[in-house]
């Protein structure tokens, strides 16, 4: 079985399923995707997102505000802690730093990231970190405010091996998305080869970033198999081994997720 460790299920295009959320979940189940982690990007949208996933025991969730929304929304440590008490919330995020898309909100992004790291430390929960073009600040903040036992994951990883190595040294996991399958992602595929299998997670980040051969279409959790196949090819192991190892990794990192 596969786990999609990062998707935004409240944003999936359900038109191929006649707007039936369960039908979309079933199409993922038909490809052996048994569990998913639905990731929060804003407190405003957290409640409706949580209501959507609540009836489904196959879906875990996180709570947090995306770094590119830090200028619109600042979430307090206490608010994160309170929301994280809900059933099947297993992580804090996604949070982090994105200097690629926004340079003028750096201070607000840092403030938000700090609150998430502090809340996660207090909760002993892992953090889902989004990082782009902000290598040094991301690592420095994890070191300063993070709890290295509960750790976290650098999701949708697109940085270089140096960044991956530093994160691994901080007890973090590395999650790869459909970007790994893109034709021009040769450098990233070299990083995949170097990251130990025991520290890899797989994700779709759906509805964004559909893997080859679905690139350009709307992404869905069912396409996490293409990501897994790409990793299997790069590591020279079977698809079922990738399924088994990444599932074990998921439960080790997200220890509040019940099997
Ligand atoms: Zn992200
Ligand atoms: Zn995301």
Q: Which of 133, 128, 144 is nearest to 64 (CA)?
A: 128
Using the mean position of ligand 2's atoms as its centre, give its distance from the Cα of residue 194 in Å: 24
> 102-111, 161-170, 212-221: which range is least confident on average?
212-221
Q: For the segment 22-38, what is each residue's pLDDT rounded down to a tens digit?
A: 999 999 999 999 999 99
Using the mean position of ligand 1's atoms as its centre, give its distance from the Cα of residue 93 in Å: 9
pLDDT computed for residue 215 by the predictor: 86
Q: Which residues surround ligand 1, an ion (CB under 5 A)?
A: 130
Q: Omega into 207 within 30° of 0, i.e. cis?
A: yes
pTM: 0.97
Read off the tokens for 97.
């730093």
Distance CA 152, CA 46 (A): 20
Using the mean position of ligand 1's atoms as its centre, give its distance from the Cα of residue 41 in Å: 9
> In the chain, what is the straight-line distance between the N-terminal and C-terminal CA atoms, in Å?
12
Q: Which residues surround ligand 2, an ion (CB under 5 A)?
A: 205
> Please, which pLDDT band fits residue 76 given cuts at 50, 70 and 90?
very high
* 180 compared with 214, residue with greater pLDDT: 180
Using the mean position of ligand 2's atoms as its centre, give its distance from the Cα of residue 165 in Å: 22
Q: For the segment 232-259, what is each residue's pLDDT rounded down to a tens digit?
A: 999 999 999 999 999 999 999 999 998 7
Domains and CATH numbers, the chain: 2-253 (3.20.20.140)
Q: For the segment 122-131, what is each residue's pLDDT rounded down to a tens digit?
A: 999 999 999 9
Residue 124 contacts by C-beta under 8 Å, 6 or more apart in sequence?
147, 149, 150
Mean pLDDT of 117-126: 98
Using the mean position of ligand 1's atoms as its centre, give its distance from the Cα of residue 156 in Å: 6
Using the mean position of ligand 1's atoms as its centre, give its distance from the Cα of residue 249 in Å: 20
Using the mean position of ligand 2's atoms as its centre, give its distance from the Cα of residue 23 in Å: 22
Q: Omega into 213 within 30° of 0, i.e. cis?
A: yes
Using the mean position of ligand 1's atoms as its centre, give its distance from the Cα of residue 86 in Å: 22
């Amino acid at each position: 079985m596969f786990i999609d460790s990062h998707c935004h299920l409240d944003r999936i295009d359900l038109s191929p399923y006649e707007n039936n959320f369960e039908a979309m979940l079933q199409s993922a189940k038909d490809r052996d995707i048994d569990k998913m982690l639905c990731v929060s990007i804003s407190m405003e949208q957290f409640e409706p997102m949580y209501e959507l996933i609540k009836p489904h025991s196959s879906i875990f969730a996180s709570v947090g505000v995306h770094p590119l929304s830090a200028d619109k929304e600042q979430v307090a440590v206490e608010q994160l802690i309170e929301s994280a008490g809900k059933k099947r919330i297993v992580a804090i995020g996604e949070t982090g730093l994105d200097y690629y898309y926004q340079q003028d909100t750096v201070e607000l992004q840092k403030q938000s990231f700090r609150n998430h790291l502090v809340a996660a430390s207090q909760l002993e929960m892992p953090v889902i970190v989004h990082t782009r073009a902000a290598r040094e600040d991301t690592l420095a903040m994890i070191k300063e405010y993070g709890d290295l036992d509960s750790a976290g994951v650098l999701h949708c990883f697109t940085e270089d091996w140096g960044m991956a190595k530093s994160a691994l040294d901080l007890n973090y996991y590395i999650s790869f998305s459909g970007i790994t399958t893109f034709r021009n992602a040769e450098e990233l595929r070299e990083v995949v080869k170097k990251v130990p299998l025991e520290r890899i997670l797989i994700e779709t980040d759906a509805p964004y970033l559909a893997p080859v051969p679905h690139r350009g279409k709307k992404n869905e959790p069912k396409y996490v198999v293409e990501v897994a196949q790409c990793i299997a090819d790069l590591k020279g192991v079977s698809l079922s081994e990738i399924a088994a190892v990444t599932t074990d990794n998921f439960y080790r990192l997200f220890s509040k997720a019940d099997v």
